C-alpha cells in the first residue's frame, strides 16, 4: 500500500538536528541544585551481608546521604512483575522473585546494589562508595544452568525448594506419534550464550520533585514511560497525574531499558522527594555490564524425527533457560524461543518444554530478538544435522519442509508471549527462500565458485537459514493527532523512541491522511504529559501498533476536517479532497479552505456548538491487535575461513525480508543492517562470561567484544518482499529485531561448510576463531 | 567510572617536569596521551596521587633524522604523527605499518610513541617494535640521564627499568642495515583490537641471500616482548629455506613463548598462531630483504 509518503524512502526528519547536536540527551540536562547518585555494588555473586559500615562515607565532604536497605524501611520490597505469568498455558508453573531495589540481608549477583550515595558530584559519590565497608559471608554461587537444578545445589532464593523458577510444556500433535512414524530420530545438544543489550547510551534517570506543585518530573531514556509513571506513582502513593515522565533523545534501547522498578528508578524517585533536590544518576559502562539486565543463556536438548526423504514428522525441544537472580520479566524470553522454533516449517508434531532457572547472575530480560533467535538457531541446526545424516543438501531439506504460501492464517497451537495462540497472519516463506538463494547465487557458488576456490586451498563456505519474527503484539497503543491554527500537525503518543525514526515514519502516515507536507507533522513520543496511555517499546511493535493507532487517529481527523469543510465550502464531502494543506472542492480550484483555518473554526471561542460535535481538528485512537503480525525472511552467507588461523571473513550476505508494507523502505533497510550487525555480534563476538564464582569476566568493552562497522559483510544485498498483514489497515508487520534473528544460524552453517572436509559440527553460538580451532582439533582427533 | 582524587601538574619544560617528578617521587605519574592511564584511573585500578602532564612540554614532540640514517623520536610524538611522517616511512617502512595496527585513529591521535613504551603493555606493538629495531631510549631525571637498550628496558607486564623520578625522553632508532627486510603479522579478534599473537620480523641478508641477522620479536604471548634466540641460531649464515623457516616457527612456538588461556583464546590456539605467524612473517621478511 503506497501513498505520497507511505512506502517512500524519505530522509529521516530527525537527522539534521541530531547530526548538528541540536538536541537534548539525558546527560545534557542540568538542573539547579542537582545532586548525583552512585551505587555501592556487591563484589560477590552470592553472599550474606553481615554488616555495612557507612560511617566514613557519610563524613566525606560533599556527601549528602548514604543509604542502605535499612534506611528505606518498608519502602524496600521486591518490585512488581513487569509481565504477567503465562496462566493461559495449561499446566504452566512459576514462582515470582522480582527485583530487590537494594540488597537486604543477602546479595544474589555481583553488581547488585548494597548502598546508594547521594553527593554534590558523581566524583564525590564514587569516592564515598570506596569508603563503604561491607562485611560479607560468601556463599557458593549458582552459576551452571544445569547443575542449578540438581539436588544439593545452593539456593538463590532460600525460601524456595529449588532454583526452579518455572516450567512450561506445550505440544501440538504428538511427539510420541512422530517417533513411531519417523525413519530416523536425530539428537543434538546446543548451548546458547548470554549477551548484553549494550546501547550506545546507558540507562540513566533524573528526578525532580516540586514540593509546591506536588509534582514529580522524571527524565529517563526508558522504553516505557507509562509503566515507569504508574509504578512510581503507586510506590510513592501519588496520583499518576502527579508524575510526568519525559524521554529525551535516547541513544538506543534494545530491551534492557524496558525495565522499570530497577534500583535506579525506585531509589532515586524516593530520595529526590525526601531530600527535596533533583538527583541525576547515569549508569556507567561497567554498571551496564554488571547490573542492568542482559539476555539468556540456554541449554537445549533437541530431537528431530524425519523420514528418509527429509520430511519432518516431529520436533522435540527440551531446554533450560537462565533467568538470573530475579525474574521480573517472567517468561517472555523462553516463550519467544518456544514460539519461534518451528514457525517457518511444517512440523506436524512438536513438543517443546522448558525450565526457567534462577542463578547468581544478572537478571535476564529481553534483548533485541528476545529469545527468538534461539528457537531459530535450534531448528536450523537440527535441519543441518538432518541434512548431514540423510546426505541431503541444506537447501533441499529446507525446501521440502517450508510452510507453503497458501497456509495462512496458520494456527500454531503454541501460546506465545502475548498469552494467545500464535497465528501466522500472512507470508510466503518459499518465495523468500528462493529469492535468497538467487541473491546469494547459491547454485553458482556450490557448483562453480566453491570447487574452484577449494582447489586453490581456500576454505570457503555457504549457509542459508530461514527465520520468522512475531512482531507487533498487544495489548495496545494510542495516539492523538491535532491540527493547529497554523495548519501544522502534532502527533502525540505514549510510545517511546530510542532512535527508530518514529518522528519520520509516523509523520509519513499522518501526512498521507491529512494531505500536508510531511515536514509539517511534528511527532512527540514518550512524554506522559502529552499522552498518558500505552504499553511500551518492545516486540517490534512501534509501527504496527502505535503506527496503526496514529493512522486511525489521522483518519478521524480527516473525517472531521471534511465534515466541517463541507459545511463551509457548501459542497458534499465526496467532492472534497485534502492536499497541500487545504481542503478543496475537487473541480473548483478557487474553492478551498486551509486546514489551519478549519482548525481555528473548529474551536469557537463564543457562540454555540452543534450538539454531538467535539471541538478542534483533533482525535485520539487506539489500536490493539488480536495477535501479532509475523514478519519473516531468509538469509544466505558466504564466508572464507583462514585454514590456519581460523579467522572468518564474511564475504557476502543476502538478506530477504518481508515486513508487509514498509512505511519507509530506507528505515527498514537501516533496521535490518543494524540487526544483522547485532546478529554478527551474537554469532561471533559477544559473550558475557561468568567465572565459577559468578564473577563477570567481561565487564568492559576491552573484554566484551562488540561488532564494529569493519565486521559487517564485505558485500550485503537486501531483498524485500511484501505480503501485507491482514491485521491492520496499512498491512504492516514489524522489522525491529528481524536482522538479528537468523545470523547465528547462518554463520554457523557457513563456517561448518567452509571446513566441511574436517567433519566439524558446531553445537553452540559465539564461534571465536579459537573455539573453531578447538572444534576442528577435536573433529580431527575423532 | 570516575577517577579517585589526584593532584595535577602541567609543566611547560622538561626541566620543570623533571623537578616536579623528583619532588613527587612515588606519588607522581607521568601523563602522556592518557589512552591507557586515564581508563585505568577511571576504573580506579590506578590511583596516582599526582599527575605530571607532559602535553604542554613542546620540546618532547619531534621526529629528527640522525646523521647515521636513523631517527630520534621525542617521547610525546603522537602515534598518528609517526604513522604519517614521510621520513619515518622512508627510513623505516615497517614502523607506520605496525603503528596502523594500534587501536583506532582517535586513539592514535592522542596516544604517544614514548607512552606506549613506558606503559610496557605485553600486548602493545611499539615496545616490540623498539626491540625488533634495536632501539635505544634516553631516560632523564633531574640532573642526570642514561641510555637503555630496548632489549633491557622491559621487566615484566607494565614494568620497566624506569624509576619514579625518571622520564623516558627520546627513542632512537638506529638505521636499518643494507639488505634488510621486515614483516609484521598479527591476529586479533577485531580490527583495532589487541593482538592475540603477533610477530615483528627484521632480517638482513648479504649479496648471496645468506641471512646475516634475524630479529624476530613475539608479543602478546608472554610477559614482555620476546626476542627469539632460536631464529638467528638456525638462520644466520644460511640461505633461508622454507624448511628452516618452518623449523624456526615450530621451535619458537614450542620453546620461546608462553601464551596463556584467556576469554578470547586458548593457550594452545595462541601457540599455534605463533607458529603460523612466524612462518608467514619470516617468509615475507626474506622476500622483502634487499
Ligand atoms: C580502545 C583502546 C584500544 C587500544 N588498543 C591498543 C592496541 O591495539 N595496541 C596498543 O599497543 N595499544 C593500544 N591502546 C593503548 C594506547 O596505544 C596507549 O595509549 C599507549 O599504549 C600508551 O600511550 P599513552 O601516550 O596514551 O600513555 P598514557 O596512558 O598517558 O601513559 C601510560 C603509562 O605510561 C607512563 N608514561 C607515559 N609516558 C611516559 C614517559 N615519557 N616517561 C615515563 N612514563 C611515562 C604513564 O605514567 C602511564 O603509567 C589502546 C587504547 C585504547 C583506549
Cell 630479529 sits on residue: B215
Q: Tell whether B4 is within 8 A of chain A (Cβ).
A: yes
Distance B34 CA to ligand 1 centre (A): 6
Percent of chain A with pLDDT strictly greater than 90: 97
Cα–Cα nearest to A40, from A24, A52, A22, A28: A52
- pLDDT tens digits for range A20-50: 999 999 999 999 999 999 999 999 999 999 9
Cβ-Cβ contacts under 8 Å, B270 against chain A: 770
**DSSP calls for A501-534:** -HHHHHHHHHHHHHT--GGGEEEEESBTTT----
Cell 542463578 sits on residue: A359
Shortest alpha-carbon distance between residue A773 and chain B (Å) = 7
In terms of domains, do B75 and B40 share one? no
Cα–Cα nearest to A492, from A501, A500, A503: A503
Last residue of a domain, one of B134, B157, B173: B173
Asked whether the predicted pLDDT for residue A1 surpasses 70, the reply is no
Q: What is the pLDDT of residue B290?
A: 79
Q: Do domains A15-22+474-623 and A298-473+626-779 have the same CATH topology?
A: yes
In terms of domains, do B96 and B115 share one? yes
Burial class (CB in 10 A: 0-12, 13-18, 19+), B97: middle
**DSSP calls for chain B:** --PPP-EEE--SSHHHHHHHHHHHGGGEEEESS-TTHHHHHHTTS---SEEEE-TT-GGG--EEE-TTS-EEEETT-BHHHHHH-HHHHHH-THHHHHHTTSS-HHHHHH-BHHHHHHHT-TT-HHHHHHHHTT-EEEEEETTEEEEEEHHHHEEETTEES--TT-EEEEEEEPPPPTTEEEEEEEEESSTTSPEEEEEEEEEEE-TTS-EEEEEEEEESSSSS-EE-SHHHHHHTTSPPPHHHHHHHHHHIIIII--PPPBTTB-HHHHHHHHHHHHHHHHHHHHHH--
- pLDDT tens digits for range B120-156: 999 999 999 999 999 999 999 999 999 999 999 999 9
The H-or-E segment that residue A586 falls in is none
Which CATH number covers residue B29?
A: 3.30.43.10
Give me A571's grid cell. Answer: 459542497
Which CATH number covers residue B265?
A: 3.30.390.50
- pLDDT tens digits for range A112-153: 999 999 999 999 999 999 999 999 999 999 999 999 999 999
* CA separation, residue A1 to residues A519, A661, A663, A730 (Å): 21, 6, 9, 7
What's the fold here for domain A15-22+474-623? Aldehyde Oxidoreductase; domain 4 (3.30.365)
Q: Is A639 helix (H, G, I), strand (E, B) or coil?
A: strand
Q: What is the pLDDT of residue A608?
A: 85
* CA separation, residue A612 to residues A607, A608, A609, A615 (Å): 15, 12, 8, 10
Q: What pairs with residue A411 in β-bridges?
A: A423
Q: Examine residue B143 and state whether it is found in any structural domain, yes or no.
A: yes
Pick from B1, B5, B268: CB nearest A286? B1
Residue A702 DSSP symbol = T
In terms of domains, do B108 and B14 share one? no
Q: What is the interface size between A and B, counted as CB pairs within 8 Å? A: 63
Q: What is the pLDDT of residue A244?
A: 98
Sorted by sequence, the CB contacts under 8 Å of residue A439 that are 6+ apart come out as A636, A654, A656, A717, A719
Pick from B4, B190, B276: CB nearest A705? B190
* CA distance linking residue A408 with residue A411, whole number of Å: 8
- Residue B36 Cβ inside 6 Å of ligand 1? The answer reads yes
The answer to whether the beta carbons of residues A293 and A258 sit under 8 Å apart is no
* CA distance linking residue A778 with residue A770, whole number of Å: 12
pTM greater than the 0.90 cutoff: yes
Burial class (CB in 10 A: 0-12, 13-18, 19+), A655: buried
Domain that holds residue B26: 7-53
Last residue of a domain, one of B173, B194, B223: B173
Burial class (CB in 10 A: 0-12, 13-18, 19+), B164: middle
Q: What is the pLDDT of residue B32?
A: 98
Residue A80 DSSP symbol = P
SS (H, E, C) A266-294: HHHHHHHHHHCCCEEEECCHHHHHHHCCE
Q: Is A679 helix (H, G, I), strand (E, B) or coil?
A: helix
Q: Examine residue B42 and state whether it is found in any structural domain, yes or no.
A: yes
In terms of domains, do B208 and B242 share one? yes
In terms of domains, do B66 and B169 share one? yes
Alpha helices in A115-158 (DSSP H): 122-130
In terms of domains, do B260 and B157 share one? no
> How is chain A split into domains, by residue range?
15-22+474-623, 298-473+626-779
In terms of domains, do B44 and B71 share one? no
In terms of domains, do B184 and B168 share one? no
Give me A150's grid cell. Answer: 540438581
In terms of domains, do B99 and B191 share one? no
Confidence band of A612 (pLDDT split at 50, 70, 90): confident
* CA distance linking residue A73 with residue B258, whole number of Å: 55
In terms of domains, do B202 and B187 share one? yes
- Residue B116 Cβ inside 6 Å of ligand 1? The answer reads yes
Q: Examine residue B2 and state whether it is found in any structural domain, yes or no.
A: no
- Residue B30 Cβ inside 6 Å of ligand 1? The answer reads yes
Give me A379's grid cell. Answer: 531448528
Last residue of a domain, one of B173, B192, B216: B173
What's the structural domain count of chain B? 3
Q: Examine residue B1 and state whether it is found in any structural domain, yes or no.
A: no
Q: Examine residue B23 and state whether it is found in any structural domain, yes or no.
A: yes
The CATH number of A298-473+626-779 is which of 3.40.430.10, 1.10.287.3510, 3.40.50.150, 3.30.365.10? Answer: 3.30.365.10
Asked whether the predicted pLDDT for residue B190 surpasses 80, the reply is yes
Asked whether the predicted pLDDT for residue A536 surpasses 90, the reply is yes
Confidence band of A2 (pLDDT split at 50, 70, 90): confident
In terms of domains, do B217 and B279 share one? yes
- pLDDT tens digits for range A454-497: 999 999 999 999 999 999 999 999 999 999 999 999 999 999 99
Average confidence score pLDDT of chain B: 97
Q: Examine residue B20 and state whether it is found in any structural domain, yes or no.
A: yes
In terms of domains, do B20 and B88 share one? no
- Residue B119 Cβ inside 6 Å of ligand 1? The answer reads yes
Chain A positions touching chain B (beta carbons under 8 Å)? 122-123, 126-127, 130, 284-286, 644-647, 685, 687, 689, 697-698, 700, 703, 705, 708, 710-711, 768-770, 773-774, 777
Sorted by sequence, the CB contacts under 8 Å of residue A487 that are 6+ apart come out as A516, A520, A581, A594, A595, A596, A597, A599
Amino acid at each position: 500500500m503506497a501513498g505520497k509518503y507511505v512506502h517512500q524512502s524519505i530522509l529521516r526528519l530527525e537527522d539534521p538536528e541530531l547530526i548538528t547536536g541540536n538536541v537534548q540527551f539525558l546527560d545534557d540536562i542540568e538542573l539547579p541544585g542537582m545532586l548525583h547518585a552512585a551505587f555501592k555494588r556487591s563484589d560477590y555473586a552470592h553472599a550474606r551481608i553481615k554488616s555495612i559500615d557507612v560511617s566514613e562515607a557519610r563524613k566525606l565532604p560533599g556527601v549528602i546521604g548514604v543509604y542502605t536497605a535499612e534506611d528505606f524501611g518498608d519502602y524496600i520490597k521486591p518490585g512488581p512483575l513487569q509481565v504477567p505469568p503465562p496462566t493461559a498455558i495449561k499446566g504452566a508453573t512459576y514462582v515470582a522473585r522480582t527485583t530487590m531495589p537494594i540488597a537486604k540481608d543477602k546479595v544474589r549477583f555481583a553488581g547488585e546494589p548494597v548502598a546508594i550515595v547521594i553527593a554534590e558530584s558523581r566524583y564525590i559519590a564514587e569516592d564515598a562508595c570506596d569508603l563503604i565497608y561491607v562485611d560479607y559471608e560468601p556463599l557458593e554461587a549458582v552459576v551452571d544452568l544445569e547443575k542449578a537444578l540438581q539436588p544439593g545445589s545452593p539456593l538463590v532464593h532460600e525460601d524456595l525448594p529449588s532454583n526452579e523458577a518455572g516450567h512450561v510444556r506445550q505440544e501440538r500433535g504428538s511427539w510420541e506419534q512422530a517417533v513411531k512414524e519417523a525413519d530416523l530420530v536425530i539428537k543434538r545438544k546446543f548451548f546458547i550464550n548470554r549477551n548484553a543489550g549494550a546501547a550506545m547510551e546507558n540507562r540513566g534517570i533524573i528526578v525532580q520533585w516540586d514540593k509546591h506543585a506536588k509534582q514529580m518530573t522524571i527524565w529517563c531514556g526508558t522504553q516505557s514511560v507509562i509503566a515507569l509513571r504508574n509504578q512510581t506513582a503507586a510506590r510513592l502513593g501519588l496520583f499518576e497525574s502527579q508524575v510526568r515522565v519525559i524521554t529525551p533523545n535516547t541513544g538506543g534501547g534494545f530491551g534492557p531499558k524496558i525495565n522499570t522498578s530497577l534500583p535506579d528508578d525506585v531509589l532515586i524517585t524516593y530520595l529526590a522527594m525526601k531530600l527535596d533536590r533533583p538527583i541525576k544518576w547515569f549508569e556507567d559502562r561497567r554498571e551496564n555490564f554488571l547490573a542492568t539486565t542482559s539476555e539468556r543463556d540456554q541449554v537445549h536438548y533437541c530431537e528431530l524425527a524425519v523420514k528418509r526423504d527429509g520430511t519432518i514428522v516431529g520436533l522435540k525441544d527440551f531446554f533450560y533457560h537462565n533467568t538470573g537472580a530475579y525474574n521480573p520479566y517472567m517468561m517472555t524470553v523462553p516463550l519467544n524461543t518456544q514460539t519461534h522454533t518451528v514457525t517457518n516449517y511444517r512440523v506436524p508434531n512438536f513438543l517443546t518444554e522448558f525450565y526457567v532457572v534462577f542463578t547468581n547472575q544478572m537478571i535476564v530480560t529481553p534483548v533485541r530478538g528476545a529469545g527468538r533467535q534461539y528457537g531459530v538457531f535450534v531448528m536450523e541446526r537440527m535441519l543441518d544435522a538432518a541434512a548431514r545424516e540423510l546426505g541431503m543438501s541444506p537447501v533441499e531439506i529446507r525446501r521440502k519442509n517450508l510452510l507453503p504460501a497458501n497456509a495462512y492464517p496458520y494456527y500454531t497451537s503454541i501460546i506465545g508471549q502475548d498469552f494467545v495462540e500464535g497465528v501466522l497472519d500472512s507470508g510466503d516463506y518459499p518465495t523468500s527462500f528462493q529469492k535468497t538463494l538467487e541473491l546469494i547465487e547459491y547454485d553458482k557458488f556450490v557448483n562453480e565458485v566453491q570447487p574452484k576456490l577449494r582447489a586453490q586451498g581456500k576454505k570457503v563456505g555457504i549457509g542459508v537459514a530461514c527465520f520468522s519474527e512475531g512482531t507487533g503484539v498487544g495489548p495496545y497503543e494510542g495516539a492523538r493527532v491535532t491540527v493547529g491554527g497554523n495548519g501544522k500537525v502534532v502527533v502525540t503518543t505514549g510510545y517511546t523512541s530510542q532512535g527508530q525514526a518514529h518522528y519520520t515514519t509516523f509523520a509519513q502516515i499522518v501526512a498521507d491522511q491529512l494531505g500536508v507536507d510531511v515536514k509539517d507533522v511534528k511527532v512527540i513520543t514518550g512524554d506522559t504529559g502529552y499522552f498518558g496511555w500505552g504499553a511500551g517499546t518492545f516486540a517490534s511493535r512501534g509501527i504496527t501498533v502505535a503506527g496503526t493507532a496514529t493512522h486511525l487517529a489521522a483518519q478521524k481527523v480527516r473525517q472531521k476536517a471534511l465534515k466541517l469543510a463541507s459545511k463551509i465550502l457548501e459542497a458534499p464531502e465526496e467532492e472534497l479532497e485534502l492536499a497541500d494543506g487545504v481542503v478543496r472542492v475537487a473541480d473548483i480550484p478557487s474553492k478551498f479552505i486551509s486546514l489551519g483555518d478549519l482548525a481555528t473554526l473548529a474551536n469557537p471561542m463564543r457562540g454555540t456548538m452543534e450538539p454531538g460535535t467535539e471541538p478542534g481538528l483533533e482525535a485520539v485512537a487506539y489500536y490493539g491487535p488480536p495477535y501479532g503480525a509475523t514478519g519473516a525472511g531468509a538469509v544466505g552467507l558466504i564466508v572464507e575461513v583462514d585454514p590456519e588461523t581460523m579467522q572468518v571473513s564474511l564475504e557476502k550476505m543476502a538478506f530477504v525480508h518481508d515486513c508487509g508494507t514498509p512505511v519507509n523502505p530506507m528505515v527498514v533497510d537501516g533496521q535490518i543492517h543494524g540487526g544483522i550487525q547485532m546478529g554478527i555480534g551474537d554469532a561471533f563476538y559477544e559473550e558475557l562470561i561468568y567465572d565459577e564464582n559468578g564473577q563477570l569476566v567481561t565487564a568492559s568493552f576491552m573484554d566484551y567484544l562488540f561488532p564494529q562497522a569493519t565486521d559487517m559483510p564485505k558485500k550485503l544485498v537486501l531483498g524485500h518482499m511484501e505480503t501485507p498483514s491482514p491485521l491492520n489497515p496499512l498491512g504492516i508487520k514489524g522489522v525491529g529485531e528481524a536482522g538479528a534473528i537468523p545470523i547465528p544460524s547462518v554463520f554457523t552453517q557457513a563456517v561448518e561448510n567452509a571446513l566441511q572436509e574436517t567433519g566439524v559440527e558446531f553445537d553452540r553460538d559465539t564461534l571465536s576463531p579459537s573455539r573453531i580451532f578447538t572444534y576442528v582439533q577435536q573433529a580431527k582427533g575423532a | 567510572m570516575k577517577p579517585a582524587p589526584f593532584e595535577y601538574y602541567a609543566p611547560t619544560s622538561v626541566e620543570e617536569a623533571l623537578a616536579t617528578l623528583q619532588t613527587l617521587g612515588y606519588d607522581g605519574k607521568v601523563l602522556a596521551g592518557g589512552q591507557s592511564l586515564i581508563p585505568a584511573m577511571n576504573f580506579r585500578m590506578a590511583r596516582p596521587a599526582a599527575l605530571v602532564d607532559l602535553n604542554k612540554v613542546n620540546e618532547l614532540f619531534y621526529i629528527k633524522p640522525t646523521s647515521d640514517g636513523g631517527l630520534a623520536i621525542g617521547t610525546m610524538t603522537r602515534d598518528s604523527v609517526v604513522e604519517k611522517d614521510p621520513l619515518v616511512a622512508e627510513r623505516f617502512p615497517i614502523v607506520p605499518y605496525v603503528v596502523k595496527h594500534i587501536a583506532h585513529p582517535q586513539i592514535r591521535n592522542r596516544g604517544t610513541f614514548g607512552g606506549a613504551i613506558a606503559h610496557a603493555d605485553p600486548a602493545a606493538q611499539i615496545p616490540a617494535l623498539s626491540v625488533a629495531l634495536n632501539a635505544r631510549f634516553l631516560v632523564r631525571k633531574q640532573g642526570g640521564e642514561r641510555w637503555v637498550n630496548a632489549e633491557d628496558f622491559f621487566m615484566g607486564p607494565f614494568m620497566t627499568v624506569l624509576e619514579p623520578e625518571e622520564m623516558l625522553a627520546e627513542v632512537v632508532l638506529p638505521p636499518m642495515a643494507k639488505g634488510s627486510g621486515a614483516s609484521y603479522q598479527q591476529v586479533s579478534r577485531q580490527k583495532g583490537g589487541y593482538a592475540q599473537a603477533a610477530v615483528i620480523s627484521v632480517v638482513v641478508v648479504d649479496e648471496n641471500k645468506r641471512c646475516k641477522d634475524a630479529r624476530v620479536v613475539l608479543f602478546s604471548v608472554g610477559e614482555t616482548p620476546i626476542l627469539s634466540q632460536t631464529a638467528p641460531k638456525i638462520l644466520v649464515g644460511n640461505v633461508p629455506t622454507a624448511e628452516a623457516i618452518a623449523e624456526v616457527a615450530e621451535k619458537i612456538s614450542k620453546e620461546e613463548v608462553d601464551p596463556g588461556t584467556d576469554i578470547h583464546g586458548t593457550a594452545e590456539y595462541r601457540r599455534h598462531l605463533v607458529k603460523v605467524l612466524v612462518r608467514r612473517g619470516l617468509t615475507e621478511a626474506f622476500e622483502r630483504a634487499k
